[in-house]
């Protein structure tokens, strides 16, 4: 007997993707996460551009991860052309990044994923019964946007942050406002962890996988670093990403795939908590300890819970950052020391490891490589589809029931399909 | 009670920032969902009705595959009013920055090598008005909240949306900023569709032209000015093209002639 499970257009995800699964005689014959989003060839367009142009247009790869793309492009470029990184600039970039994590996570957890678990088609339909949660979640999201707007000039595609510094630093008044709001939102964020933490998650998909994230310096938690850390404890320099995470193309997707030692892996909030979660302190650390369990290593549905814990971290870190920023003098714009070189930037976008890798000759880009978290995750998403389809079919579920469960997996990963479609191997002029 | 207008929100290729801007109306989101009968909004809902005829279709993104082109034509047939929503739909945005240079296939090969795809047939990015009649547009990369909500309200009442028909440069003056061109920076404010309230020059960073070209834009004057300031023709044209999409392509030849 043959079953075909097809979701033509995934809902409550960013971009245009679908699922196709074939089951024959109780064996899963075919599993595809299709990516229909058209290719934009961003990396090829980066060739022959100046650093500031690259920093302006590569964030257009994705609106939800625009600040991550900006920060990682800056990191790559500043490493390639040997900029000095001023302290105030560094911490302002971090603050901007946390704004994005909060905005993206709150959108994802409450508006895109939670309706599945509570049985609603969208977040607005939840208002009747969960008005307070929806409103507070929207406040959290709005706060994330506000931080990005103040730091980057606009909450989507701002231009204030660039290589060498900021056009304008936030004022003392703006910073204090950010600090106050972060403190006010913290209690809801702590409570939200428990809303998500008590959800019963199914185990039909479980299988151990490898998790990977950036390794922040000085044994701290955070969203960037020049090393990558694996859930098995291994650490490699970011520069060696290409030798370790091997890319290939598949016919059913304009997004490329990557394998580590021939196996799929997972990046994102759950990866960060699995690799460096033991570095969390304060309330975030308490929730991490409360909920951490061995199933986290084999069930990506825990990603939403991990995201709520990260939101606590962000809201606790923001007041610290404001205090640091208020004490530091406003620097002059830094200039590049060189006109040629290669730099690899790695940051943690909300959805996980994001790589920008540029080479320059005479000040212009000659090589560009961008790999996004969703592209890294696609192979593991298909692996978990396969497990789920096999077990749910065995348990007698029909096509629609299986499709709904597969959609849940996709949404737990929070794919960013716009991002996924813009990756490439090395581009040479 | 009068029947609510039906609305479809569709996305093609881009960063999804225009749809996200709708979700970013945190304070107005609940009202928006109750003022319109939303039939399609994949980014936010799972109960979508693809077959529905809609009073208003907001179309985000450029057309980058044949499959998208077919879908766009279907949306046109189903919609009373079709609105190009944001820079990608309006001009093609950054993916169209090299439009018409004849090297698209070469770039595709640079990125994907000889890989073959079954998922769809890719094509060079084009704005939607190249294929279907567009009744109205909402500019922006992404559209600003105020302008977008105003436009959607106008549409829901059966009116044509209005937009800011003045350049970023004017809004920058309103904010009493010092001119970045005087500072020797390559600012595209005089050429660019306003409505954004000039956030970039207000942060001492030049306008990059992301909302697209305003009707009254005088590219020749800006080219001459920037050349006087010491910028190379090649760099000026590159900046004009970054967000100029399909509209700048028609002006390039003339500009290169003037630059000589």
* Candidate from A12, A43, A249 with C-beta closest to B46: A12
**Number of residues written out for chain B:** 260
CA-to-CA separations, B114 to A247, B13, B109, in angstroms, rounded: 14, 22, 6
**Residue A404, number of CB atoms within 10 A of its CB:** 15
| Closest Cα in chain A, distance from residue B162 (Å) | 22
pLDDT at A185 over 80: yes
For A97-119, write each residue's pLDDT tens digit.
Answer: 999 999 999 998 988 888 888 88
pLDDT band for A125, please (50, 70, 90 cuts). Answer: confident
CA dihedral A364, A428, A341, A84 (to 10 degrees): 60
End-to-end Cα separation, chain B, in angstroms: 65
**Number of residues written out for chain A:** 429
pLDDT score recorded for residue A38: 76
DSSP-derived 3-state class of residue A176: helix
Residues B107 and A429: their CA atoms lie apart, in Å, by 10
pLDDT score recorded for residue B211: 95
Q: Is the dihedral of CA A379, A385, A390, A391 positive or negative?
A: positive
* Candidate from B64, B116, B204 with C-beta closest to A38: B64
pLDDT score recorded for residue A419: 57
pLDDT score recorded for residue A420: 55
Closest residue of B to A111, CA-based?
A: B44
Residues contacting B230, CB < 8 A, separation 6+: B184
Q: Which residue, A134, A140, A101, is CA-closest to A118?
A: A134
Mean pLDDT of B150-172: 93
pLDDT at A11 over 80: no
pLDDT at A312 over 50: yes
pLDDT band for A429, please (50, 70, 90 cuts). Answer: very low
Mean pLDDT of B184-205: 96
Residues A304 and A413: their CA atoms lie apart, in Å, by 8
pLDDT score recorded for residue B8: 96
pLDDT at B234 over 90: yes
In chain B, count of helices (H) and strands (E)?
A: 12, 7
* Candidate from B108, B118, B235 with C-beta closest to A252: B118
CB contact under 8 A, B119 and A141: no
pLDDT score recorded for residue A13: 66
Say if strands A257-260 and A265-266 run parallel, antiparallel, or are unpaired: unpaired
* Candidate from B15, B117, B210 with C-beta closest to A62: B15
Residues B150 and B166: their CA atoms lie apart, in Å, by 17
CB contact under 8 A, B122 and A39: yes
DSSP-derived 3-state class of residue A177: helix
CB contact under 8 A, B125 and A40: yes
CB A27 within 8 A of CB A9: no
DSSP-derived 3-state class of residue A171: coil
For A276-307, write each residue's pLDDT tens digit.
Answer: 999 999 999 999 999 999 999 999 999 999 99
Residues of A in contact with B115 (CB under 8 A): 249, 251
* Candidate from B11, B17, B67 with C-beta closest to A156: B17
Q: Which domains does chain B have, with CATH numbers?
A: 6-156 (3.40.50.700), 168-259 (no CATH)
Cis peptide before A163 (omega within 30 of 0): no
DSSP-derived 3-state class of residue B167: strand
Q: DSSP code of B150?
A: H
Looking at every residue in chain A, the average pLDDT score rounds to 91
Residues A267 and A275: their CA atoms lie apart, in Å, by 10
**Residue A206, number of CB atoms within 10 A of its CB:** 18
The alpha carbon of residue A239 and the mean position of all alpha carbons in its chain are separated, in whole angstroms, by: 20
| Closest Cα in chain A, distance from residue B47 (Å) | 6
Chain A to chain B Cβ contacts (< 8 Å): 205
pLDDT band for A265, please (50, 70, 90 cuts). Answer: very high
pLDDT score recorded for residue A417: 67
For chain A, percent of residues with pLDDT exceeding 90: 72
Least confident range of A54-58, A328-332, A383-387, B117-121:
B117-121
pLDDT at B163 over 90: no
Q: Which of B49, B119, B238 to mutate to test the interface with A (most CBs of A within 10 A)?
A: B119
CB contact under 8 A, A122 and B47: yes
Region class of B213: left (phi > 0), else alpha (psi between -120 and 50), else beta: beta
pLDDT score recorded for residue A229: 98
Region class of A265: left (phi > 0), else alpha (psi between -120 and 50), else beta: beta
In chain A, count of helices (H) and strands (E)?
A: 14, 15
Q: Which helix (H) or strand (E) holds B60?
A: strand B54-60
CA-to-CA separations, A141 to A99, A146, A148, B228, B239, in angstroms, rounded: 9, 9, 11, 46, 33
CB contact under 8 A, B204 and A168: yes
Mean pLDDT of A390-417: 87
Residues A34 and A378: their CA atoms lie apart, in Å, by 10
Q: Which residue, B251, B96, B245, is CA-closest to A45?
A: B96
Six-digit token string for B210: 């992301």
pLDDT at A428 over 50: no
Residues A126 and B29: their CA atoms lie apart, in Å, by 13
CB contact under 8 A, A251 and B118: yes
In sequence order, what DSSP letters do the residues of A58-113 get, joined into one string?
Answer: GGGG-STTHHHHHHHHHHHHHHHTT----HHHHHHHHHHHHHHHHHHHHIIIIIII
Q: Does residue A43 or residue A282 have the better pLDDT? A: A282
Mean pLDDT of B89-99: 94
Q: Which domains does chain A have, with CATH numbers?
A: 42-428 (1.10.645.10)
DSSP-derived 3-state class of residue A356: strand
Residues of B in contact with A121 (CB under 8 A): 45-47
CB contact under 8 A, A159 and B110: no
pLDDT band for A230, please (50, 70, 90 cuts). Answer: very high
Q: Which residue, A377, A404, A391, is CA-closest to A23?
A: A391
CB contact under 8 A, A64 and B20: yes
């Amino acid at each position: 007997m043959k079953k075909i499970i097809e979701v033509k257009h995934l809902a409550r995800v960013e971009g245009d993707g679908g699922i196709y699964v074939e089951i024959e005689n109780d064996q899963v014959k075919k599993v595809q996460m299709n990516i229909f989003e058209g290719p934009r060839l961003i990396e090829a367009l980066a060739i022959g551009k100046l650093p500031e142009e690259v920093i302006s247009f590569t964030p257009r790869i994705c609106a939800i991860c625009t600040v991550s793309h900006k920060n990682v492009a800056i990191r790559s470029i500043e490493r390639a052309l040997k900029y000095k990184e001023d302290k105030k600039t560094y911490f302002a970039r971090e603050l901007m990044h946390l704004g994005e994590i909060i905005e993206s996570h709150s959108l994802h957890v409450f508006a895109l994923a939670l309706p599945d678990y509570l049985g609603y088609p969208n977040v607005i339909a939840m208002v009747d019964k969960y008005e307070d949660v929806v409103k507070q979640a929207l406040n959290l999201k709005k706060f994330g946007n506000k931080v990005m707007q103040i730091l980057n000039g606009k909450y989507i595609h701002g231009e204030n942050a660039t290589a060498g510094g900021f056009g304008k630093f936030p004022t003392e008044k703006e910073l204090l406002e950010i600090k106050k709001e972060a403190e006010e939102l913290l209690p809801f964020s702590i409570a939200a962890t428990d809303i998500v933490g008590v959800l019963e998650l199914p185990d039909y998909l479980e299988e151990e996988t490898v998790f990977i994230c950036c390794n922040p310096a000085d044994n701290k938690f955070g969203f960037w670093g020049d090393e990558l850390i694996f859930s098995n404890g291994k650490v490699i320099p970011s520069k060696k990403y290409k030798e370790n995470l091997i890319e290939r193309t598949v016919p059913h997707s304009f997004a490329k795939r990557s394998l580590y030692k021939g196996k799929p892996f997972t990046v994102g909030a759950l990866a960060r908590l699995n690799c460096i979660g033991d570095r969390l302190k304060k309330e975030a650390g308490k929730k991490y300890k409360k909920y951490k369990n061995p199933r986290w290593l084999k069930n990506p549905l825990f990603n939403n819970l991990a995201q709520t814990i990260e939101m606590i971290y962000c809201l606790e870190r923001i007041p610290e950052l404001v205090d640091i920023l208020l004490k530091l003098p406003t620097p002059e714009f830094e200039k590049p020391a060189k006109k040629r070189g290669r730099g690899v930037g790695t940051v943690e976008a909300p959805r996980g490891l994001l790589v920008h890798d540029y080479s320059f000759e005479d000040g212009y880009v000659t090589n560009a490589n961008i790999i996004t978290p969703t592209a890294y995750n696609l192979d593991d998403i298909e692996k978990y589809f396969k497990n789920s389809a096999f077990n749910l079919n065995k348990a007698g579920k029909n096509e629609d029931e299986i499709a709904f469960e597969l959609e849940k997996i996709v949404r737990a990963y929070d794919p960013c399909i716009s991002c996924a479609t813009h990756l490439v191997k090395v581009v040479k002029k | 009670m009068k029947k609510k207008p039906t609305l479809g929100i569709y996305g093609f290729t881009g960063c999804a920032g225009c749809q996200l801007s709708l979700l970013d109306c945190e304070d107005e989101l609940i009202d928006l969902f109750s003022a319109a009968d939303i039939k399609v909004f994949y980014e936010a809902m799972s109960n979508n009705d693809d077959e529905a005829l809609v009073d208003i279709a907001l179309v985000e993104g450029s057309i980058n595959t044949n499959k998208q082109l077919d879908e766009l034509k279907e949306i046109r047939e189903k919609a009373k009013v079709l609105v190009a929503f944001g820079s990608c739909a309006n001009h093609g945005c950054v993916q169209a920055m090299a439009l018409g240079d004849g090297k698209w296939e070469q770039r595709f090969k640079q990125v994907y090598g000889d890989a073959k795809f079954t998922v769809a047939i890719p094509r060079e990015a084009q704005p939607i008005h190249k294929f279907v009649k567009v009744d109205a547009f909402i500019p922006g990369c992404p559209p600003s909240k105020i302008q977008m909500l105003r436009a959607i309200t106008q549409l829901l009442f059966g009116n044509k949306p209005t937009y800011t028909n003045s350049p970023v440069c004017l809004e920058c003056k309103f904010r009493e900023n010092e001119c970045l061109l005087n500072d020797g920076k390559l600012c595209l404010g005089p050429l660019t569709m306003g409505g954004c309230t000039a956030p970039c020059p207000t942060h001492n960073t030049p306008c990059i032209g992301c909302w697209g070209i305003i009707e009254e834009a005088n590219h020749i004057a800006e080219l001459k000015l920037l050349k006087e300031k010491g910028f190379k023709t090649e760099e000026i044209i590159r900046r004009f093209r970054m967000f100029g999409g399909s509209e700048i392509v028609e002006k390039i030849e003339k500009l290169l002639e003037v630059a000589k």
